[in-house]
């Protein structure tokens, strides 16, 4: 993946990263931050399940930033590295992932790769473990994760190297209405 920025920072003296590139359109950056924060603030779907889906997207898209960031709310809900390590192409055979997490991962793969992956048993498992409201929230989340990863990769905004980092879970900005 390219780590050479293909877009400039809008903030003089600041290197190009997602926030400084979005600063070229502050009103859109604010609305995006509001949407992403509201998604993470919602407790319809647990932060742990959201993070499981985000980690699968990170592995599939090979987004270096996404792969190395963990959000503190999911960590507090017990999502440890031993579970994250099982979010591979063989996740269905993991003894550490719950059945709900496996259903979330199958949905994530269906959204990223092929909707036909979510038929029969996979669809039944998803409906068994998640409500319609939770599935809707998951769909929005995976869409956001995929878009963010692809934007970071395409704009060359991935770090060359990055240690595993636990960050505060995104929240609605204080100035949001």
Q: Give the pLDDT confidence of 44-66 residue by residue, as tens digits.
A: 999 999 999 999 999 999 999 99
Q: Look at residue 13 in the predicted model and tell me its pLDDT.
A: 96
pLDDT of residue 82: 97
3 state DSSP class of 52 = helix
* Record: fold of 18-167: AhpD-like (1.20.1290)
60-101 confidence digits (pLDDT tens): 999 999 999 999 999 999 999 999 999 999 999 999 999 999
Residue 175 has pLDDT above 80, yes or no: no
How far does Cα 106 stand from its chain's mean position? 15
Residue 144 scores a pLDDT above 90: yes
pLDDT of residue 115: 94
φ/ψ (deg, to 5) at 176: -70, 145
Q: What is the pLDDT of residue 4?
A: 86
Cα–Cα distance for residue pair 157/3, rounded to 1 Å? 6
Enumerate the domain spans of the chain.
18-167
What is this structure's pTM?
Answer: 0.93
């Amino acid at each position: 993946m390219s780590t050479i920025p293909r877009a400039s920072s809008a903030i003089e003296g600041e290197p190009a990263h997602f926030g400084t590139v979005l600063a070229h359109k502050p009103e859109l950056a604010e609305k995006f931050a509001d949407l992403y924060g509201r998604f993470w603030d919602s407790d319809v779907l647990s932060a742990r399940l959201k993070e499981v889906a985000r980690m699968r997207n990170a592995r599939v898209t090979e987004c270096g930033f996404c792969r190395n960031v963990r959000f503190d709310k999911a960590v507090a809900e017990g999502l440890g590295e031993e579970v994250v390590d099982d979010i591979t192409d063989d996740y269905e055979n993991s003894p550490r992932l719950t059945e709900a997490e496996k259903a979330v991962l199958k949905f994530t793969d269906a959204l990223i790769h092929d909707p036909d992956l979510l038929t029969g048993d996979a669809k039944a498992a998803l409906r068994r473990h998640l409500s319609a409201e939770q599935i809707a929230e998951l769909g929005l989340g995976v869409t956001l994760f995929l878009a963010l990863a692809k934007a970071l990769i395409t704009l060359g905004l991935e770090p060359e190297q990055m240690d595993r980092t636990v960050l505060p879970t995104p929240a609605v900005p204080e100035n949001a209405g």
